[in-house]
Structure 1
Amino acid sequence: MTPEQDKSTEQIARQARRMKSTRDHPGPSPLRGIGTFGMVGWAIAVPTVGGAFLGLWLDQVAPQGFSWTIALILGGVVLGAIMAAAWINREGGER
């Protein structure tokens, strides 16, 4: 092999390693960020709205000196925040 062919082979091998590295470790995607934002939003919204509806029903069925609706909305927000934090930590651990 001539020295010129060695350089060409070396360049091709280097380029192949770079392409494999890029394929194995893709960079951050804007769509992934939007997906994470949406998942966090739903993780908080669903328990909050569920708590509101359950609270409205409990206020009619079992009235108390406090508002079930407000208590369960706050509980839904806390539960949703915990679920969202757990999801973000699990996703962040993959990188």
Structure 2
Amino acid sequence: MRSDKEQDRDFSRKVGEKEERKIRSLRENKRSVWFGLGMMGMVGWSVAVPALLGVLTGLWLDKKYPQTFSWTLTLLVIGVFIGSIIAWYWVEKEDREIHNNKDQENE
């Protein structure tokens, strides 16, 4: 049989844990909409910037050093490839962070 003080402490601890989970959930839900939009922007820019730099460099190389192949198309493909790797890195990093936060909540 536990004393009233022990029961009160257990009850207070449980209420505190639930409150902490609720606050964390509210914070993440508010973050998730803006975070999702920001992540889409980050992924888009991560692909667009290297592709654009590849095209600009390719246009300059096509004018300065003409070849039988197109520098512009070659560097565009390379830029999209590099941008995709950068975007994949960011998405993977955020996915790991989300899963780490969920694992910490379950502890």
Q: TM-score range by the shorter chain?
A: 0.7 to 0.9
Distance 2:53 2:21 in 1: 45
**Match for residue 16 of structure 2?**
16
Aligned-residue CA RMSD (Å): 2.6
Letter paired with 1:30: V
Distance 1:23 1:64 in 2: 61
Percent sequence identity over aligned pairs: 36
How many pairs were matched up? 93
The TM-score, its normalising length taken from structure 1, stands at: 0.80
Provide the TM-score with structure 2 as the length reference.
0.72
Matches within 5 A, 1:30-45: 30-45=33-48
Q: Distance in 1 between matches of 2:15 and 2:35?
A: 27
Gaps of 5+ in 1: 1-5
Shift of 1:45: 0.3
Aligned to 2:87, what secondary structure does the other structure show?
A: helix
**For 1:13-70, what per-residue CA distance to the aligned partner results, in whole angstroms no more than 9, with x for missing partners?**
4332112123456346111110110000000000000000000000011110000001
Equivalent residues in 2 for 1:1-95, closer than 5 Å:
12-24=12-24, 26-27=28-29, 29-95=32-98
Deviation at 1:72, TM superposition (A): 0.5
Distance 1:74 1:88 in 2: 21
Q: Matched residue of 1:94: which SS? A: helix
